[in-house]
Amino acid sequence: MSASLQEVKRRISSTKKTGQITAAMQMVSTAKLNQIQKHTTSYQVYASKIRNVITHLAASHLLENVEPAEAVKKDQFNTLSMLKQRPVKKTGLVVITSDRGLVGSYNSNVIKQTLQLISDNHHSQDDIEIVAIGGIGADFFKKRGYDIVYEFRELSDVPTFREVRPIVRTILRMYQSERFDELFVCYNHFVNSLTSTFRGEQMLPISAENIGSEGLEETSSSGYQLQYDTEPSEEAILEVILPQYAESLLYGAMLDAKTSEHASSSTAMRSASDNANDIIASLQLQYNRARQSAITTEITEITGAQAALE
């Protein structure tokens, strides 16, 4: 067998092994996607209820009637500071990416759109504080000189609520200490197994404007004003509800981002496997043609030798 045929055969063998690896990785990513989708479906019921409560409180103007400075005792964390609007000197961005590659355009899309968000809002690099969830985003912004105020790596494939709470507490204390004056969550939203879209949602401060008007259509059409009687007080109610809302918003974003990551990984590995099969088919055709040419040459030489002997 000639050297060229041996080389083609080695390339076929190597590509087959690569295809087997990418096919296995696709199966793993698909399994993770199915698992997190089941978890997300059940969690969305809770998140929707929390959002509806906050939305209706905003519609009743309850969020506007509370003074954060009077909410808690000295040296305690001021939950109601989440409502405090102040002049924006620093903007915080929670950027959710993966810890590793092999996820197609997932990370590049989040980073590209986050940079576009910074540009569209006319922020300079000195005005931005990055909270990085995932190693790819943390490393990217570090190399470009952005201030990474907090980073969290190795987020679970199906994140738990327990993982999110320390992150939320850290972020809230940074906001209260005026490390930044507003906070956005930047991530890829899962649409379907082939499509995801970038989202940049404002998390802090909490206000009627950034909560939105979901769930209020019926109230608006009925023509009556929402009112609440609170017990023991408006402050006590919001002390419980606001942290749950912040946790649900960030946790929901992480679940959504991880779902998009697994879908992107599955798609990328399926594409890699398809490419490997195409390469194998092309190499096999090349091998067969070379082999056929070698056999034809051998037959011609044998026939020529036999004719010379005669």
| Token code pair at residue 35 | 């698992």
Residue 73's pLDDT band, with cuts at 50, 70 and 90, is very low
Task: For the chain, list the domains and their CATH numbers.
Answer: 3-23+270-309 (1.10.287.80), 39-268 (3.40.1380.10)
Q: How far apart are CA 276 and CA 282, in angstroms?
A: 10
pLDDT digits over 205-240, tens only?
887 676 655 544 444 444 445 556 666 766 777 777
pLDDT digits over 107-159, tens only?
999 999 999 998 888 778 888 999 999 999 999 999 999 999 999 998 888 88
145-176 in b/e form (b: 16+ CB < 10 A) is ebbebbbbeebeebbeeeebeebbeebbebbb
pLDDT digits over 238-248, tens only?
777 788 888 88
| Token code pair at residue 66 | 């509370």
- pTM for the structure as a whole: 0.81
300: CB partners within 8 A, 6+ apart: none
DSSP per residue over 67-115, as a string?
A: -GGGSS-TTS--GGGGG-----S-EEEEEE--SSS-STTHHHHHHHHHH
